[in-house]
Each structure stands twice: as C-alpha cells, then as structure tokens.
Amino acid sequence: MKLLVGLGNPGAKYEATRHNVGFMVAETVAQRHRVALKKKGYQGRYGVGTVAGKQTTILLPQEFMNNSGSSVNAAYQSLGVVPGDLIVIYDDLDLPFGRLRIKQEGGHGGHNGIRDILAILGRKDFIRLRVGIGRPEFGDVTGHVLGNFNALEQKHLPQLLDAGADAVEKIIAAGVLEAMNIFNGFSLID
C-alpha cells in the first residue's frame, strides 16, 4: 500500500491558492486513476485505488496545513505503510514556480506542514515531492503563499499539475531514484 498525501488548507477560501498546490497535484493523480476522494477519515478526505499498478490511498488532510501531522500519522499507522511508501506533496517557496524536486528524506526546510509531520511521525525518511511556487520579489511572503496564482502562473498551472502527477506515478512505478533522475531537473519556465 502506498500513501499519497497532498498538503493544503481546507475550505473554499484557500482552494486556488499557491499553498494548496499539494492538494491540486494529489487531486490530479486521483482524477487520472479514477480514485474518488469522498471517504472521510484520518482527519481528512481520502480515496483508495490503483496508481501505477500499486494499491494507493490518496489523502487530503482537512486540518490546516500547520497541523497536518495528526492526519498523516493516523493514516500512516492505520494502513501500516513503511516510510518509503509515504509520499507527501507540498508547495515550496524556495523553488521557482514551475520546478519540481523529489527528496527521499530530510528536514522541514521552513515548511510548517512538514515540520508538524516530522514532529508527529517522529521520522524524516519519507518521500517528498516539492512543487515550486517561487518567492515574491517584494512584499509579504504569507500573502504570496496564501494568494492566488498570477496570470502567468495560471497559464502554466495545468502543465505543472500534470508534471507533478507524472512524478508521483514514476515514484510509485519505478522508485524514487529513477523519478529523481527524471524530475529533479524539470522546469516549466526557464
């Protein structure tokens, strides 16, 4: 069993924000593989199906981003997955918009959702797919993260979500190292 977690904030207010790109990629994977995200449990919304030939639970925690750990841990413990079968997708300010980065383990890199997951799981050896949202040149970082994508980003967003879903499928089908070789150099906008 694989556990695929997209991070974001619940509610219509946050739906189209940069901070919810983890939800968006996970939803793209779910749509491609006809996994209905209608079940309620693990403090989130989830569905179970087959992704890249493997049984996969796709989870969207319904706690706010900074409290994602309890939802992830509930599913992780209940499903009995091992760290290499947990894939967490989230936004990254330190990657330019349109870039992807896969990591096998590591710290939180300043991301509070990952910080909470690390604290509650008590381990850091799970797979992460970081989706670049870029850092604002000027102004408020919080406003940028919780803001909607600008016109140029919106134009490229469908391609970015597809690329993120491709990366997830490659991780599941061929393993994290092969996926890293393909996607860690990926960029929509040069």
| Domain assignment of residue 128, yes or no | yes
Token duo for residue 79: 């499903």
Quote the CA–CA distance of 111 and 36 in Å, as a whole number.
Answer: 28
Which CATH number do you get for residue 127?
A: 3.40.50.1470
Place of tokens 């993260």: 145
Q: What is the mean pLDDT of residues 119-124?
A: 92
∠ Cα 100 106 17 (to 5°) = 45
* 106 phi-psi bin (left φ>0, alpha ψ -120 to 50, beta other): left
Using one digit for the tens of pLDDT, what is the confidence trace for 63-102? 999 999 999 999 999 999 998 999 999 999 999 999 999 9
Q: What is the pLDDT, as a whole number, of residue 188?
A: 79
CA distances from 86 to 90, 91, 103, 155 (A): 13, 17, 12, 30
Q: What is the mean pLDDT of the chain?
A: 94
Q: Indicate the SS3 state at residue 147.
A: coil
| Domain assignment of residue 190, yes or no | no
Q: State how many domains the chain has.
A: 1
Q: Identify the burial level of 152 via C-beta atoms within 10 angstroms of its C-beta, where 0-12 means exposed, 13-18 middle and 19 or more buried.
A: exposed
Q: Please, are residues 183 and 170 in contact by the beta-carbon 8 Å criterion?
A: yes
| Domain assignment of residue 40, yes or no | yes
* 19 has catalytic annotation: yes
| Domain assignment of residue 26, yes or no | yes
**pLDDT-based confidence at 26, cuts 50/70/90?**
very high
Selecting among 19, 33, 108, 111, the annotated active-site residue is 19
For residue 140, the tally of other CB atoms under 10 A from its CB is: 10
**pLDDT-based confidence at 190, cuts 50/70/90?**
low
Range of the domain at 85: 2-183
For residue 58, the tally of other CB atoms under 10 A from its CB is: 27
Strand partners, 56: 2, 49
| Domain assignment of residue 189, yes or no | no
Token duo for residue 159: 């391609």
Quote the CA–CA distance of 73 and 65 in Å, as a whole number.
Answer: 14
Q: Tell me the HSE value of 11 on the side-chain side, using a 13 A CA sphere.
A: 7
**pLDDT-based confidence at 106, cuts 50/70/90?**
confident
| Domain assignment of residue 179, yes or no | yes
